[in-house]
């Protein structure tokens, strides 16, 4: 008994040790970033973006777009005439960010081939090149010419086609090779961030796992290189993916995990992070220079303006934002240039941090196998990869939600400091999104009472998030006359979307001009005063169905896979009859602010913070099916062996 108690005590985390190592890692990253900045970024950097062509002009016309070579803002593309018939659908052709603009860093285009079904084979390409550069067409170097005043260059390519010749092959895709000092600065700094974190992990875990972490370190470096030169090593991600699947199958198939060395799980986790790093890096490179989402433009505008810590108002809708994400943008601006690319890099780093955070929390709730499976699902999920370069706060919101859940789980074990970590995690979550306050307080009370936390400590944990969010609420009241303006403004948006054009509500033209127009309304007023009780029940039920069953869970988190959906339902059934059934209720509670809106219309990203629990359910179903299958195979083999021995006259 004493041995078990001492073992549990030694395994419990030390808050001082965690604090020291966090300080070490943060200081190492900051110092490395400044050294890189002072060094002048002398290292050359190259990466490529592939711009695919589209020949079908009818497809463009069906979507109401012109094919005269105009810039199409809706699709972030340029339409160019191609050979008299069809058109080139020119994605990534022009950048929206002046600081990362194409005309500042294009070196050359390399044109690959495609068929244009017309004897008129002249192709007109307009590019954002400031001075004459070069193109390569099937190995032949051509020159950009006819420079115009707006730094646009027109290139004419004419293929020699004889009479009666077959449709000529001209254009399939264009590879844009990029050299830009600002992009180079940002990306090299991110690489050093990653290297510093790897070194910190190497030092921290060297006594536990020895030299095996060097293998992980090499994989991460290779993944970084493959992200920079994705066209040269397109197979590397697939190979790492297969290796991870095989390794997980070997290690996680153990009947008993008690004897599994912990370093094997750590190695698997680092390989999963490396795979996620590679996928997100390629996505980041492909998105550099494209238009930011409107919400991301608002974050960027607030961070650029400066001002006080809680002065987060802007002239862009929805006119104010919670401060925590803005603070992180300002911090990243200290080390990177103040560009939209730096904002994308921030969400790239946060997206990477989600992977180990999911492992830690899910492992604490169930076991290491489920944690690794959930981390793998987050790393490989296409929607998470897509979101990692959008410059939005989804990843931060997921991290803060995981931090709160972890603090609540450990509230009793960290009896001395549990209230402090819980309060800080709850405050960070509210500073990311004020609506979190609606479920933060109930969750703290539930876990505190369930674990018999001292009343004074529980009260401190409840007061701390209110204390942390108070300056933001005061700024809301001072600026707009409503302390909850940063959340109530969204109620105005959804009211306009649902009731647009009806008597007493804004017209279609007014909503098109400003989606947040109209009389002020609170979230309570929008839901309770504008809907009847039967309507609220019906819409909320539809929202629950969309979030947890068919819409957001099935299509977003489970990638539309029927097999994964079946395993997910099996996991729900297993958890529902186990002692961990409370997590089903917790999943609904943390989605409470979005359930009603999801029943009408809601962007998926606003519900993605429930992903860790969804993946927990998925992995529960998966590993239970695996265990049942293994037991069935063992039973069948044993029965077959006994029967064979009996048939041959041997002992059973």
Return d(Cα 115, Cα 94) in angstroms, integer.
Answer: 24
Q: With a cut of 80, say whether residue 247 has pLDDT above it.
A: no
Asked which of 133, 159, 178 is the last residue of a domain, the reply is: 178
Query: Residue 259's pLDDT is what?
Result: 45
Contacts of 164 (CB under 8 A, 6+ apart): none
Which of the listed ranges 225-234, 253-262, 576-585 does the model predict with the highest average pLDDT? 576-585
Give the pLDDT band of residue 500 (cuts 50, 70, 90): confident
Asked which of 158, 178, 198 is the last residue of a domain, the reply is: 178
* Position with higher pLDDT, 647 vs 330: 330
Tokens of 142: 């051509």
- Lowest-confidence pick of 19-28, 463-472, 528-537, 609-618: 19-28
CA 183 to chain CA centroid, Å, is 21
Is 165 part of any domain? yes
Pairing of β 145-147 and β 153-157? antiparallel
Q: Is 603 left (phi over 0), alpha (psi -120 to 50) or beta?
A: beta
Query: Residue 369's pLDDT is what?
Result: 83
Is 54 part of any domain? yes
Mean pLDDT of 502-529: 86
Range of the domain at 534: 523-652
Give the pLDDT band of residue 547 (cuts 50, 70, 90): confident
Return d(Cα 229, Cα 282) in angstroms, integer.
Answer: 9
* Position with higher pLDDT, 253 vs 304: 304
Mean pLDDT of 181-191: 52
DSSP state string for 412-427: TTTTTTHHHHHHHHHH
Q: With a cut of 90, say whether residue 150 has pLDDT above it.
A: no
Is 201 part of any domain? no
Task: Render pLDDT for 258-295 as a digit per residue (tens, 0 to 9).
Answer: 444 556 677 778 778 877 887 787 778 767 666 778 88
Return d(Cα 435, Cα 523) in angstroms, integer.
Answer: 10
CA 620 to chain CA centroid, Å, is 23
Is 403 part of any domain? yes
Query: Residue 148's pLDDT is what?
Result: 29
Is 75 part of any domain? yes
Return d(Cα 540, Cα 546) in angstroms, integer.
Answer: 10
HEC-encoded secondary structure of 323-358: HHHHHHHHHHHHHCCCCHHHHHHHHHHHHHHHHHHH
Query: Residue 238's pLDDT is what?
Result: 60
Q: With a cut of 90, say whether residue 306 has pLDDT above it.
A: no
Mean pLDDT of 23-32: 54
Residues 540 and 633 in one domain: yes
Mean pLDDT of 85-93: 36
Is 335 part of any domain? no
Residues 565 and 463 in one domain: no
DSSP state string for 572-615: HHHHHTSTTTHHHHHHHHHTHHHHHHHTT---GGGGGGGHHHHH
Tokens of 55: 């020949």
Residues 54 and 174 in one domain: yes
Q: With a cut of 70, say whether residue 224 has pLDDT above it.
A: no
Residues 174 and 56 in one domain: yes
DSSP state string for 270-311: HHHHHHHHHHHHHHHHHHTTSPPPHHHHHHHHHHHH---TT-
**Are 53 and 172 within 8 A, CB to CB?**
yes
Residue 435, classed as helix, strand or coil, is helix
Residues 458 and 535 in one domain: no
Task: Render pLDDT for 576-605 as a digit per residue (tens, 0 to 9).
Answer: 888 888 888 888 888 888 888 888 877 778
Query: Residue 457's pLDDT is what?
Result: 82
**Strand pairing partners for 49?**
176
Task: Render pLDDT for 331-345 as a digit per residue (tens, 0 to 9).
Answer: 888 877 787 888 888
Query: Residue 102's pLDDT is what?
Result: 30
Task: Render pLDDT for 424-442 as a digit per residue (tens, 0 to 9).
Answer: 999 999 999 999 988 899 9
Q: With a cut of 90, say whether residue 397 has pLDDT above it.
A: yes
Q: With a cut of 80, say whether residue 423 has pLDDT above it.
A: yes
Is 511 part of any domain? no
Which of the listed ranges 207-211, 229-233, 570-574 does the model predict with the highest average pLDDT? 570-574
Residues 58 and 169 in one domain: yes
Return d(Cα 596, Cα 591) in angstroms, integer.
Answer: 10
Residues 56 and 147 in one domain: yes
* Position with higher pLDDT, 140 vs 27: 27
**Strand pairing partners for 127?**
153
Query: Residue 235's pLDDT is what?
Result: 55
Cβ atoms within 10 Å, residue 334: 12
User: Of 363, 387, 383, which is closest to residue 375 (Cα–Cα)?
Assistant: 363
Q: With a cut of 70, say whether residue 373 has pLDDT above it.
A: yes
DSSP state string for 76-117: TEEEEEBTTSSEEEEET-S-S-GGG-GGGTEEEEEE---B--
Q: With a cut of 60, say whether residue 36 has pLDDT above it.
A: no
Mean pLDDT of 309-338: 86
| Total of domains in the chain | 3
Asked which of 437, 454, 469 is the last residue of a domain, the reply is: 469
Q: Within a 13 Å sphere around the CA of 199, how many CA atoms are in the beta-carbon half?
A: 13
Give the pLDDT band of residue 400 (cuts 50, 70, 90): very high
Residues 539 and 465 in one domain: no
Q: For the whole model, what pTM was predicted?
A: 0.68
Q: Please report, rounded to a whole number, the percentage of residues in the chain having pLDDT higher than 70.
A: 56
Return d(Cα 41, Cα 547) in angstroms, integer.
Answer: 46
**Are 487 and 523 within 8 A, CB to CB?**
yes
Residues 534 and 637 in one domain: yes
Cβ atoms within 10 Å, residue 348: 21
Mean pLDDT of 390-419: 84
Tokens of 437: 């306050």
Percent helix, strand, coil in the chain, to 5, is 60, 10, 30
Give the pLDDT band of residue 357 (cuts 50, 70, 90): very high
Mean pLDDT of 497-507: 86
Tokens of 254: 């153990």
Residues 464 and 550 in one domain: no
Residues 462 and 541 in one domain: no
DSSP state string for 238-260: HHHHHHHHHHHHHHHT-S-STTS
Tokens of 67: 């094919």
User: Of 355, 361, 448, 462, which is closest to residue 402 (Cα–Cα)?
Assistant: 361
Is 606 part of any domain? yes
- Lowest-confidence pick of 183-192, 388-397, 444-453, 544-553: 183-192
């Amino acid at each position: 008994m004493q041995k078990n108690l001492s073992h549990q005590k030694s395994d419990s985390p030390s808050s001082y040790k965690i604090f020291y190592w966090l300080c070490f890692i943060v200081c190492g990253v900051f110092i490395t970033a400044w050294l890189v900045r002072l060094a002048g970024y002398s290292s050359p950097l190259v990466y490529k973006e592939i711009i695919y062509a589209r020949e079908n002009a009818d497809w463009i016309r069906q979507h109401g777009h012109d094919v005269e070579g105009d810039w199409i803002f809706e699709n972030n593309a340029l339409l160019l005439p191609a050979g008299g018939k069809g058109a080139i659908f020119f994605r990534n052709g022009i950048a929206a960010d002046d600081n990362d603009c194409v005309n500042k860093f294009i070196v050359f285009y390399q044109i690959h081939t495609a068929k244009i079904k017309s004897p008129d084979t002249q192709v007109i390409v307009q590019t954002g090149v400031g001075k004459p550069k070069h193109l390569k067409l099937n190995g032949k170097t051509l020159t950009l010419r006819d420079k115009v005043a707006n730094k646009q260059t027109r290139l004419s390519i004419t293929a020699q086609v004889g009479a009666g010749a077959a449709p000529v092959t001209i254009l399939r895709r264009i590879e844009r090779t990029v050299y830009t000092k600002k992009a180079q600065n940002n990306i090299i700094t991110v690489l050093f961030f990653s290297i510093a974190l790897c070194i910190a992990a190497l030092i921290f875990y060297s006594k536990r796992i020895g030299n095996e972490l060097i293998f992980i370190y090499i994989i991460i470096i290779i993944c970084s290189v493959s992200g920079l030169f994705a066209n040269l090593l397109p197979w590397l991600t697939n190979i790492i993916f297969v290796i991870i699947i095989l390794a997980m199958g070997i290690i996680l198939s153990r009947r008993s995990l008690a004897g599994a060395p912990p370093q094997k799980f750590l190695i698997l986790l680092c390989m999963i992070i490396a795979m996620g790093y590679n996928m997100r890096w390629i996505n980041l490179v492909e998105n550099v220079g494209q238009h930011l989402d409107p919400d991301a433009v608002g974050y960027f505008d607030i961070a650029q303006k400066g001002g006080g810590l809680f002065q987060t108002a802007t002239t862009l809708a929805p006119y104010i934002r919670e401060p925590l994400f803005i603070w992180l943008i300002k911090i990243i601006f200290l080390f990177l240039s103040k560009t939209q690319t730096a904002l994308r890099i921030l969400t790239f780093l946060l997206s990477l941090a989600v992977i180990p955070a999911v492992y830690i929390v899910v492992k604490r709730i169930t076991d290491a196998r489920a944690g690794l499976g959930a981390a793998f699902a987050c790393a490989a999920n296409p929607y998470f990869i897509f979101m990692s370069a959008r410059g939005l706060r989804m990843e931060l919101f997921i991290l803060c939600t995981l931090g709160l859940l972890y603090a609540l789980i450990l509230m009793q074990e960290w009896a001395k400091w549990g209230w402090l970590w819980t309060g800080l995690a709850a405050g960070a979550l509210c500073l990311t999104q004020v609506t979190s306050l609606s479920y933060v307080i109930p969750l703290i009370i539930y876990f505190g009472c369930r674990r018999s936390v001292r009343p004074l400590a529980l009260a401190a944990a409840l007061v701390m998030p209110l204390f942390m969010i108070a300056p933001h609420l005061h700024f809301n009241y001072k600026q707009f006359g409503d302390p909850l303006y940063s959340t109530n403004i969204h109620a105005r948006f959804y009211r306009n979307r649902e009731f647009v054009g009806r008597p007493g509500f804004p017209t279609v033209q007014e909503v098109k001009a400003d989606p947040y127009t109209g009389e002020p309304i609170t979230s309570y007023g929008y839901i309770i005063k504008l809907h009847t009780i039967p309507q609220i029940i019906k819409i909320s039920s539809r929202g629950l169905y969309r979030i947890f069953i068919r819409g957001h869970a099935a299509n977003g988190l489970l990638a539309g896979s029927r097999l994964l959906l079946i395993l997910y339902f099996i996991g729900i059934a297993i958890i529902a009859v186990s002692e961990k059934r409370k997590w089903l209720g917790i999943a609904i509670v943390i989605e409470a602010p979005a359930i009603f809106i999801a029943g009408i219309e809601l962007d998926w990203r606003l519900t993605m913070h429930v992903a860790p629990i969804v993946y927990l359910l998925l992995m529960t179903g998966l590993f239970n099916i695996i265990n049942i299958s293994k037991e069935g195979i063992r039973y069948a083999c044993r029965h077959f062996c006994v029967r064979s021995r009996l048939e041959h006259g041997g002992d059973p």
